[in-house]
């Protein structure tokens, strides 16, 4: 666990801390003053105090031990600052500065390599946003919090080669109420690279699922060997799959992005789940972190809207999931509760007369039915007899059997979906995405 000081340091220095609220060094320092409980040392030769904290002229003026240095300075002076870190005995550094290999300045990045080798320093970056850890309060993201939301404590770990992709993802996750354990933007990966970060998150007790945005790899064999050994689910979104994308990746993080088919084949061989977009990646992550894996592909569909039931059935058929019939015993029991015109066949359609109690009874029956491996629960909250208490009724059965909830609508529906999400129930707005996720869980269970 040589990377632990990046996530759990007792003391941090911000080199490049600024009094100017518009500067990167000011935003990062403010982040730490608001969330970090350890020692904070701002370093700026032109200031005595910033945000109420004593400011140090240089790193050597700090008397206490420094576990982690965050460097936010122009690229040209970063190697010299890194040398000072080595002299001070700082063994972990995050460099958010850009202007290195990604701009063609390989000589400057080589200087960083020589310094970290000389002093045995571990480094994340350069050209990355660094680390966000809601548990320890580490936050080196230089986007202000009123512009970019931070997700609360959760169990999804996110590694991103791109700082922008990480930022947008965190902001979106925060809005949707999705939770995270750690997020790392590693940029050019001059030192710390994807395999080490995967190993760390695989051992991290707070992380259940690992998400990865990847453009290219320095050492493909090392990555795939690590992926084979990783015990937790890994979901990857690969950037640079086209010729244009590969060119963009080279100027973005200096990454050499290989052909898409080679990567996809290797992902399949190592058990990595590949997602086509960010939304699907986090859809899968939410389901894998909270839902038990199914033992088979037998599906029960429960709905209060026939059309949504039909569309969901179509997608289930396309993805090769088997829709199970309601047993005679269950039919006899449920008929006493549901309307006469309700359907209890391949699909349980409670119609617009559905009540919260009917839903609970049908869902409970599906959870107990040994011929059902997974459940698509279509909860449309608009019918008049459906009450908000249905959310709690459903959450009482959460985790008992693989379930994905399909629910669509406006603000009222979205608020109830957020409560379901917070309780560990993954919710989706389209039949395709709902079934796609269930199919992915089934496919992963076979591996």
Domain assignments of the chain as residue spans, ordered by start: 1-127, 148-290, 292-446
Average pLDDT in the 432-438 region?
A: 95
Q: What is the pLDDT of residue 227?
A: 92
Residues 111-123 have pLDDT tens digits of 999 999 999 999 9
Among the listed residues 288, 246, 278, the one whose alpha carbon sits nearest the alpha carbon of residue 263: 246
Pairing, β 153-160 against β 209-214: parallel
| Token output for 243 | 């010729």
Contact 379, 406 (CB under 8 A): yes
**Residues 6 or more apart in contact with residue 122 via CB below 8 angstroms:** 2, 3, 5, 6, 91, 92, 93, 116, 191, 192
Question: What pLDDT does residue 264 have?
Answer: 87
pLDDT exceeds cutoff 70 at 255: no
Distance CA(225)–CA(204), nearest Å, equals 19
Distance CA 413, CA 286 (A): 19
Residues 31 and 139: beta-carbon distance below 8 Å: yes
> Whole-angstrom Cα distance, residue 328 to residue 390?
26
Q: What is the mean pLDDT of residues 430-447?
A: 92
CATH tag for 148-290 (out of 3.30.70.20, 2.40.50.140, 3.40.250.10, 3.40.50.261): 3.40.50.261
Tell me the CATH architecture of domain 1-127: 3-Layer(aba) Sandwich (3.40)
Whole-angstrom distance, CA of residue 156 vs CA of residue 209: 5
Q: What is the pLDDT of residue 245?
A: 44
pLDDT on residue 412? 94
* Average pLDDT value for residue range 100-121: 95
Residue written as tokens 């064999």? 221
Higher pLDDT, 46 or 256: 46
* 53 burial level (CB within 10 Å; 0-12, 13-18, 19+): middle
As assigned by CATH, the class of the 292-446 domain is: alpha beta
pLDDT band for position 263 (50/70/90)?
A: confident
pLDDT of residue 374 exceeding 70: yes
Share of residues in the chain with pLDDT > 90 (%): 81
State the pLDDT at residue 176. 86
**Same topology between domain 1-127 and domain 292-446:** yes
CA distances from 380 to 232, 406, 417, 424, 442 (A): 33, 8, 10, 18, 25
Mean pLDDT of all residues in the chain? 92
Backbone φ, ψ for residue 209 (5° rounding): -135, 140
**Helix or strand or coil: residue 276?**
coil
Structure confidence at residue 249 (pLDDT): 46
Q: How many residues are listed for the chain in this entry?
A: 447
Structure tokens at 285: 């992550």
What are the residues whose beta carbons fall under 8 Å from the beta carbon of 398, sequence distance 6 or more?
Answer: 290, 423, 424, 425
Which residue carries 């937790």 as its tokens? 232
Rounded CA-CA distance 398/419 in Å is 13
Q: What is the pLDDT of residue 217?
A: 87
């Amino acid at each position: 666990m040589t990377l632990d000081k990046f996530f759990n340091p007792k003391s941090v220095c911000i080199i490049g801390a600024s009094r100017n609220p518009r500067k990167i060094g000011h935003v990062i320092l403010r982040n730490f003053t608001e969330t970090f409980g350890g020692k904070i040392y701002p370093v700026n030769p032109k200031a005595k105090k910033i945000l109420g904290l004593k400011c140090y002229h240089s790193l050597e003026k700090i008397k206490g031990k420094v576990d982690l240095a965050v460097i936010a300075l122009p690229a040209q002076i970063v190697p010299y600052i890194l040398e000072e870190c080595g002299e001070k005995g700082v063994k972990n550094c995050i460099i958010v500065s850009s202007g290195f290999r990604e701009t063609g300045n390989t000589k400057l990045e080589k200087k960083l390599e020589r310094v970290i080798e000389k002093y045995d320093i571990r480094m994340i970056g350069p050209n990355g946003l660094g680390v966000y850890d809601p548990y320890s309060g580490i936050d080196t993201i230089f986007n202000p919090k009123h512009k970019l939301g931070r997700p609360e404590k959760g169990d999804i770990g996110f590694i991103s080669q791109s700082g922008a992709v990480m930022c947008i993802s965190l902001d979106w996750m925060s809005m949707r109420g999705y939770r995270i354990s750690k997020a790392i933007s590693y940029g050019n990966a001059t030192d710390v690279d994807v395999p080490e970060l995967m190993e760390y998150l695989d051992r991290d007790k707070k992380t259940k699922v690992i998400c990865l945005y990847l453009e290219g790899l320095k050492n493909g064999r090392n990555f795939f060997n690590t992926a084979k050994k990783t015990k937790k689910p890994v979901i990857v979104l690969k950037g640079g799959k086209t010729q244009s994308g590969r060119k963009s990746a080279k100027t973005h993080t200096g990454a050499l992005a290989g052909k898409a088919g080679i990567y996809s084949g290797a992902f399949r061989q190592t058990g990595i789940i590949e997602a086509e977009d960010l939304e699907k990646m986090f859809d899968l992550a939410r389901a894998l972190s909270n839902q038990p894996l199914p033992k088979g592909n037998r599906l029960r569909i429960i709905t209060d809207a026939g059309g949504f039931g039909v569309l969901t059935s179509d997608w289930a058929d396309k993805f090769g999931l088997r829709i199970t019939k309601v047993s005679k015993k269950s039919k006899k029991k449920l008929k006493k509760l549901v309307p006469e015109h309700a359907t209890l066949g391949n699909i349980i359609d409670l119609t617009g007369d559905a009540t919260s109690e009917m839903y609970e009874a049908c869902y409970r029956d599906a959870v107990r039915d040994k011929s059902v491996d997974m459940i698509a629960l279509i909860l449309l909250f608009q019918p008049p007899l459906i009450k908000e208490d249905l959310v709690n009724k459903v959450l009482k059965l959460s985790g008992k059997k693989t379930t994905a909830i399909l629910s669509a609508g406006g603000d009222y529906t979205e608020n109830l979906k957020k409560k379901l999400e917070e309780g560990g129930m993954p919710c989706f707005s389209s039949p395709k995405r709902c079934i796609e996720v269930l199919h992915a869980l089934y496919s992963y269970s076979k591996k």
